[in-house]
Amino acid sequence: EADIYQTPRYLVIGTGKKITLECSQTMGHDKMYWYQQDPGMELHLIHYSYGVNSTEKGDLSSESTVSRIRTEHFPLTLESARPSHTSQYLCASSESRGDVNIQYFGAGTRLSVL
Amino acid sequence: KNQVEQSPQSLIILEGKNCTLQCNYTVSPFSNLRWYKQDTGRGPVSLTIMTFSENTKSNGRYTATLDADTKQSSLHITASQLSDSASYICVVSDRGSTLGRLYFGRGTQLTVWP
């Protein structure tokens, strides 16, 4: 069982609100990730981090931003939520075992913007 | 373009029966292939990871195979249980970057009926 936690699990908010999705891991992993997943679709990488003060945009363009001030914490922020942001957001962290990068996922936050 | 294709898209079987899920990929250079199980509303959980030199790997009732020459993998589930109902995602990692980029399939939605 991976020690990676996401809050809230579910969030319903109105358009224009600022929101922050929390992600924390207690495994001491340097690499962390945010994915976006729509129902029945594949996960798309939207942000990743190699470590403290390192953040990069992923393959899928996103209006969200992230920060990595502490190793264990990788929050995602939407300054002004819109209905198009409705989706499931999954956070992950990873460790390396030889050449293999093992990713552990949180339970996800299901966001609905009205 | 690196891609991961899974089939079937969805599958319904009766409890106790066996089933096989397929994954074809074009990711190159190939590093490893993983199968994840994702319960509804949850994050993916790793079932197996196979590197280039591995042809088969088992995890309880789950057996994954890999043919790196034809770029195909399968996940065989034996004696299915109701708790096997989930989405099974094939994920391929390349070794062309430090990040170990992951390419996700859309998953096969398995439903096990009593």
| pLDDT tens, residue by residue, A63-76 | 899 999 999 999 99
| Out of B41, B101, B106, closest to residue A108 by CB | B41
Task: Inform me whether the C-beta atom of residue A11 falls under 8 Å from chain B C-beta atoms.
Answer: no
For the cut 90, the answer to whether the pLDDT of residue A39 exceeds it is no
pLDDT at residue A88 in the model? 95
Token representation of residue B61? 């009732």
For the cut 70, the answer to whether the pLDDT of residue A14 exceeds it is yes
pLDDT at residue B90 in the model? 96
Mean pLDDT of A15-30: 95
Mean pLDDT of A10-17: 95
| pLDDT tens, residue by residue, B90-112 | 999 887 655 567 889 999 999 99
| pLDDT tens, residue by residue, B15-30 | 999 999 999 999 888 8
With a pLDDT cut of 90, the percent of chain B lying above it is 75
For the cut 60, the answer to whether the pLDDT of residue A49 exceeds it is yes
Q: Could you write out the DSSP letters of every residue in A56-99?
A: EE-SS--S-EE--SBTTB--EEESS--GGG-EEEEEEEEEEETT
Task: Inform me whether the C-beta atom of residue A14 falls under 8 Å from chain B C-beta atoms.
Answer: no
Find tokens 């989405």 and name the residue.
Answer: B87
Q: Cα-Cα-Cα-Cα dihedral of B32, B38, A2, B26, to 10°?
A: 10
Determine whether the interchain pair B32/A100 forms a contact, defined as Cβ–Cβ distance below 8 Å.
Answer: yes
| Out of A43, A102, A108, closest to residue B104 by CB | A43
User: How many beta carbons lie within 10 A of that of residue B31, not counting itself?
Assistant: 20
Token representation of residue B5? 């294709």
Residues of B in contact with A100 (CB under 8 A): 31-32, 49, 51, 93, 100
Minimum mean pLDDT among A30-39, A67-76, A98-107: which range? A98-107
Residue with more model confidence, B41 or A20: A20
| A53 secondary structure, DSSP code | T
- Per the prediction, chain B carries an average pLDDT of 92
Q: Measure A61 CA to nearest chain B CA, in Å.
A: 16
H/E stretch holding B68 reads: none
With a pLDDT cut of 90, the percent of chain A lying above it is 79
